[in-house]
Amino acid sequence: MTKQELKELEDRLWQAADNLRANSGLKASQYSAPLLGLVFLRFASIKYKKHQDEIEAEFKKYKGTRNEKSIESISQSICGYYLPEKSRFDYLLNLNTKKDIPQAIKTAMEEIEKYKPELAGSLPKDEYLELKSEKEVDFGLAKELLQIINDIPEEANGDIFGKVYEYFLAKFALAEGQGGGQFFTPASVVQLMVEMIEPYGGHILDPACGSGGMFVQSSDFVEKMRLHHQNEDAEPLQIFGCEKDRETVKIARMNMFLHGLNNNIVNANSYYDDVFESFEKFDFVMANPPFNVDDVNLSCVKDQKRFNKYGIPQNKTKKSSRKSDRKNKETVPNANYLWINLFATSLNEKGRAALVMANSASDARNSEADIRQRLIEDGIINCMLSLPKNMFYTVTLPATLWFFDRARCDDKRILFIDARNIFHQVDRAHREFTPEQIKNISCIRHLYYGNTQYMTDLLGEYSLKIETFTAEALVLETARNQKQKARDVLVTKLEKLTDKASNEGLIPSKQTEKELKQADKDLKDAEKEYAEADGLWNEKVSEVRYFESNHQWLNDRFPEKKYEDVTGLCKVATLDEIAEQDYSLNPGRYVGVVIEEDGLTEQEFHTEMEQRHTALNKLNQRARELEDLIEQNLKNIWE
């Protein structure tokens, strides 16, 4: 399945599902779990069907012998799980609407958990009962939902299902508003975090794992490295996650199943529960924790070793915000530095970490400033990166990425990157990083580490794409020109037939009318074919220009193919320079600014120029057509 086909499938599924939700009166929060559960069930059924013949053959082979095995155990060894007949998607899809389909789906989920203990309590069940009401007789809503998910083709693999699942997660996060962000971090932000810390393999922790997106992207990175014959001997990622919201834990476990990832994801509050005894244990830690939480009970965290290495913020006494608690409790004034502490102390001697944090933490005062100074002087903070606005679906707070590296604590310098002007505008309110922007930003880190080969390889990759797309554009241009000539021939033919009809008087002959209709139809078809060819050519030309701009972006900033400070983009600051800034970790204080007279980023400028160029070409083409038409009309008048 191509990227375009996948995009069309995702959009089609979401539109159908969202229309059904709108007609049902259910909220997005009520609708998300049933929908995601059926995506899960569709994938489980398709995968099981592919192994079913092998499973049944194995069962028949040993049936009645001393080595007889149950079909459940055979299924577990071959497919990884057993799927009873009444838990299969096709069985549910073929149920008559007079049957209680919601109850049947609930039963199907219960049976799956029975034979897959790791999923116990993770699959939606009672949620399907909300898809019916007392007024319903035929349970049509549940049936329609099954039919929508049935549009996912049987040839879809786990990767396709994972992407569809993540697409729905993003859509539900957007639909649910502020609350939806607790279990979803935009993929491009996660991809950048992964590229920056390169989790090749080992133990990885996400103490606020949400739906598990950090794990999915990390696993994809490991697989990509293996495909490129890099770190082939690295051990598989061993996944450990904490999530305080019980329903989100269910979503995360289903997400891991869809991606084929073994995991240990638990329902726990990482402030109070150190379920994995994380102190100096993990190779990698990643998370997008909640920002600015102000009601963490100090007495529950103050004696924990993981929070005491660099210090706990505790300079205020305030009343808990929980209405059920009427007594004054001493709370941590802001939990941001609890998270930062947790990340720093969970790493082993070579561990690396990446976390999303509110910008305010970079300059926080009082006890937070003291903690930040200790972290900086310890050398564990390796890089700070400012994100653009509107990168998240549910919050508008500006954010910064913090990167830790225990293996480089002797180097007290910090790489500051200001990426606020690097983004692709998705729509008016949302932005993301393109894959190339992620690579370009990662290139800065590689150059800083002295890995100049990364930039050489990346420029080579861009050059190859420019060459390939240029060749494809030339082929498309030839086809486009042929379509244009064919169209022009038909325009001339239609003009001649029009003249002929006018010469025959007010009522042209039937033959001429027939020829006129056919010529008009042929011209419309030719216009459509030309428009399609022109569109394909323009798309390919845009791809060429896009990769040319990325190639130029790197060359302009790092012409020697080695790291250097770039005003407005990046700066390596020493401990003395950071001390002069009162130990601020705000990249803007260090990299400086570049004043853009037009207020546009470079990518926005190139995009706008491309759009204007395309519009100009269309206007010029239309002008030429009008000139020809005017000239022909004048000739007709003179004749």
170 sits in which H/E element: helix 158-176
- The predicted-structure confidence for 396-425, as pLDDT tens digits, reads as follows 677 999 999 999 999 899 999 999 999 998
pLDDT band for 339, please (50, 70, 90 cuts): very high
- The predicted-structure confidence for 500-537, as pLDDT tens digits, reads as follows 888 877 787 888 888 888 988 999 999 999 999 999 99
Report the pLDDT value the prediction gives residue 161, as an integer from 0 to 100.
Answer: 60
Residue with tokens 């001390």: 579
Report the pLDDT value the prediction gives residue 595, as an integer from 0 to 100.
Answer: 57
**Which residue type is seen at 416?**
F
Report the pLDDT value the prediction gives residue 264, as an integer from 0 to 100.
Answer: 92
Query: Is residue 377 scored above 90 in pLDDT?
Result: yes
Is residue 325 helix, strand or coil? Answer: coil
Angstrom CA distances, 60 to 67, 86, 173, 326, stand at 11, 21, 47, 66
Q: Name the H helices within 421-509.
A: 435-448, 452-503
The answer to whether 191 and 441 are in contact (CB under 8 A) is no
- The predicted-structure confidence for 615-626, as pLDDT tens digits, reads as follows 787 777 777 777
pLDDT band for 183, please (50, 70, 90 cuts): very low
CA dist 445 and 441 (Å) reads 7
The answer to whether 10 and 167 are in contact (CB under 8 A) is yes
Q: Which of 135-144, 390-399, 578-587 has the lowest mean pLDDT?
A: 135-144
- The predicted-structure confidence for 550-600, as pLDDT tens digits, reads as follows 999 999 999 999 999 999 999 999 999 999 999 999 999 999 876 554 555
Angstrom CA distances, 432 to 74, 391, 540, stand at 45, 6, 22
Q: Which of 138-142, 493-497, 510-514 has the lowest mean pLDDT?
A: 138-142
Query: Is residue 157 scored above 80 in pLDDT?
Result: no
More confident residue, 460 or 327: 460
Q: Which of 156-165, 292-301, 467-476 has the lowest mean pLDDT?
A: 156-165
Phi, psi for 241 (deg, rounded to 5): -135, 145
Residue with tokens 């993929």: 187
More confident residue, 592 or 279: 279
Report the pLDDT value the prediction gives residue 597, as an integer from 0 to 100.
Answer: 47
Query: Is residue 320 scored above 70 in pLDDT?
Result: no
10 Å CB burial of residue 545 (0-12, 13-18, 19+) is middle
Nearest to 152 by CA among 11, 13, 7: 13
The answer to whether 318 and 342 are in contact (CB under 8 A) is no
